[in-house]
Amino acid sequence: MPADPGQAAIRFEGVSKTFDAPGRSSTRVIESIDLDIPRDAITVLVGSSGCGKTTLLRMVNRMVDPTAGRVLVDGADVAERDPVQLRRGIGYVMQNGGLLPHRTVVDNVATVPRLNGVPRRQARLKAMELLEVVGLEQGVGKRYPAQLSGGQQQRVGVARALAAESGILLMDEPFAAVDPIVRRELQAEVLRLQRDLGRTVLFVTHDISEAFHLGDKVVLLQAGGRIAQQGTPDEFIESPASDFVREFIDADSRRLRVEGSRVLDARGRVAGVLADGPHAPTHTPARGSR
Ligand SMILES: Nc1ncnc2c1ncn2[C@@H]1O[C@H](COP(=O)(O)OP(=O)(O)O)[C@@H](O)[C@H]1O
Ligand SMILES: [Mg+2]
């Protein structure tokens, strides 16, 4: 699809969503959201569980239709697109991997190209290439999802989403279920892939440190599906828009980790250096901590 480089890859215009439950009052999940997702960058939607992140993400590929407003992809209203066609052109990594258990890894990755009419042999070759791109050995291709570790399954999920060969990749808490060390590796992989392949990534997480680490742009949602703030990680840290934002950031971004003798903050910046000595290591306070 021809893409105007200056145009947002995805645009939400006055988008609201209400779910009607029979016999109960309806719930407003997303409230009048206006939002641009820039092209060829990583935008992270962050917020507590239940604030509407998945609902907003799924409006992009029409797994959810808005009650009001429009969602534009490359300037065109998705409501006018055939949902099945649309989905085949947008990579989607689901919260729990979403791999087909009775298909081998290589066939899982080849699913969308096959549906798009790519011959089997060619689709499999492409799938093997993508497995390599996400850092998996060729031998993994013949296995079934249940024979892989959680981290490997998430990599396969990413490879499958890349197979859609669209400019857009939707990732819904893809690394929530893996241990912190594997999560770091996968985050590094996403940053590398984005740099090398230049996709538009819309990434969902409830973890503000993950959002700051990955996001060129961060969008914080609050209960009731409203945007609390949007901007670069630095803008959040330097000028939080409200007490809600300040508290959301503070709860997590002061979490420090140690690498060698350095103490790093949630964004990987050096917050201090460990002092040698007989006692517990000390560090200088992180920027922004009180
Ligand atoms: N299909 C649905 N029907 C009714 N309520 C839903 C549906 N999908 C989501 N919800 C509700 O919408 C709210 C937001 O859900 P979701 O978008 O999944 O949040 P998040 O991904 O931020 O955890 C929740 O209260 C959830 O129960
Ligand atoms: Mg969710």
Q: Which pLDDT tens digit goes with each residue over 227-250?
A: 999 999 999 998 999 999 999 998
For the cut 70, the answer to whether the pLDDT of residue 1 exceeds it is: no
Tell me which residue has its CA closest to atom 27 in ligand 1: 50
Whole-number average pLDDT of the chain: 87
Summarize the confidence of residues 16-40 as an average pLDDT. Answer: 91
pLDDT of residue 276: 61
pLDDT of residue 287: 41
What's the 89 CA to ligand 2 centre distance in angstroms? 22
Record the pTM: 0.84
For the cut 50, the answer to whether the pLDDT of residue 157 exceeds it is: yes
For the cut 80, the answer to whether the pLDDT of residue 129 exceeds it is: yes
Tell me which residue has its CA closest to atom 24 in ligand 1: 50
pLDDT in tens, 72-93: 999 999 999 999 989 888 999 9
Summarize the confidence of residues 184-188 as an average pLDDT. Answer: 88
What's the 49 CA to ligand 2 centre distance in angstroms? 7
Integer Cα distance of 285 and 206 in angstroms:
25
Q: Is 19 in the pocket of ligand 1 (CB under 6 A)?
A: yes
For the cut 90, the answer to whether the pLDDT of residue 204 exceeds it is: yes
What's the 17 CA to ligand 1 centre distance in angstroms? 10
**Residue 173 Cα: closest atom of ligand 1:** 21
For helices 105-115 and 120-133, the axis angle rounded to 10 degrees is 120
pLDDT of residue 3: 63
Tell me which residue has its CA closest to atom 26 in ligand 1: 50
Among the residues of the chain, which ranges form H helices?
53-58, 83-88, 105-115, 120-133, 150-162, 180-197, 208-214, 233-238, 243-253
pLDDT of residue 282: 43
